[in-house]
Amino acid sequence: MLSYQHAYHAGNFADVHKHLVLHAVLDHLLRKSSPITFADTHAGRGVYPLDAPETQRLGEYRHGALPLWQARDRLADEPLLASWLDAVASLQHDGSRLERYPGSPWWLAQRLRSGDRLRLYELHPGEHDHLSQQALPPNAQRIHGDGLAGLIQALPVSTPRLCVLIDPSFERKEEYSEVAVTLLAAMRKARHGVALVWYPLLPAGRHHELLERLREGGLRKIWRSELTLHAPGEERGMYGSGMLVVNPPWGLDERLAAAMARAAPLFGEACRYRADWWVEE
Ligand code: SAM
């Protein structure tokens, strides 16, 4: 079953949270010159035109990327948000209007250096077709297939460093345990790799299974970042967005906390950000 299409949700508060963490991680990793293999296990389309009927139907970007975009003059003094918004602006045809929202393949591809590698996995044939239409550098490879199995097959990588983004749609409840099993296996093969995992905060609380499995599996240095719109159960559906970073770069928590203190109020009065170590050393 593959019914999920990210275009319905593109640019929502969870995308902003995920891509801000990704942008900040890339800043840190790219300070060193040694090459990196990036793997995006659930790539999606790559770029999302905001006037697409799917995206207009729910209009979630109006409560995510758009308020940030509209506040960009006021946010110019916040370094992470300013550089993130500059990157978003570079994708627009006309720098004054937000017309397209960048997905994870774009965030990764635009920072790719000649010695780096990028592997983009997408299982949905239609979404993979969209991704195939995006202009990408020659060291970016699009793979039509299962990203979790593909990641394990690709390890060990030929570059000295590895950075993985795992961003499933969690359409099936089994995906929580599949992600945990894959991440544990991947980190056994690439102990110093950096891994980012996105998860939804839903009233059913299934993300706890993912977190517990990682702890029980013996994974260390897991940093957790969560953005909540309101208390669980207050409204139906997703009430927050979570990101795990395994082996987070030093200083990531301070940068994110400063950025989120300014961004969260733009997503709603009750929006709260918190970050902590899920598992430390
Ligand atoms: N990472 C994207 C971004 O930030 O722009 C969004 C990805 S979206 C949440 C999840 C995507 O994973 C969907 O496009 C879906 O078709 C795809 N997908 C689902 N199961 C998959 C699998 N096992 N392997 C690869 N892609 C998968």
* DSSP notation for the chain: -----GGGTTTSHHHHHHHHHHHHHHHHHTTS-S-EEEEESS---SEEETTSHHHHHH-GGGGTHHHHHHTTTTTTTSHHHHHHHHHHHHT-SSTTS--EEE-HHHHHHTT--TT-EEEEEE--HHHHHHHHTS---TTEEEEES-HHHHHHHHPSPSSSEEEEEE-----STHHHHHHHHHHHHHHHH-TT-EEEEEEEE-TT-THHHHHHHHHHTT---EEEEEEESS-TTSSSS--EEEEEEESPPTTHHHHHHHHHHHHGGGG-TT-EEEEEEEE--
Q: Which atom of ligand 1 is nearest to the CA of 44?
A: 14
Tell me whether residue 51 is one of the annotated catalytic residues.
no
Question: Is 226 a pocket residue for ligand 1 (Cβ < 6 Å)?
Answer: no
Span from the CA of 209 to the centroid of ligand 1 (angstroms): 20
**For 173-190, what is each residue's pLDDT tens digit?**
999 999 999 999 999 999
Catalytic residue among 129, 167, 253, 276: 167
**For 95-110, what is each residue's pLDDT tens digit?**
889 999 999 999 999 9
**For 73-93, what is each residue's pLDDT tens digit?**
999 999 999 999 999 999 999
Q: Which atom of ligand 1 is nearest to the CA of 48?
A: 5
Question: Is 11 a pocket residue for ligand 1 (Cβ < 6 Å)?
Answer: no
Q: Which atom of ligand 1 is nearest to the CA of 106?
A: 5
**For 121-167, what is each residue's pLDDT tens digit?**
999 999 999 999 999 999 999 999 999 999 999 999 999 999 999 99
| Domains annotated on the chain, with CATH | 6-279 (3.40.50.150)
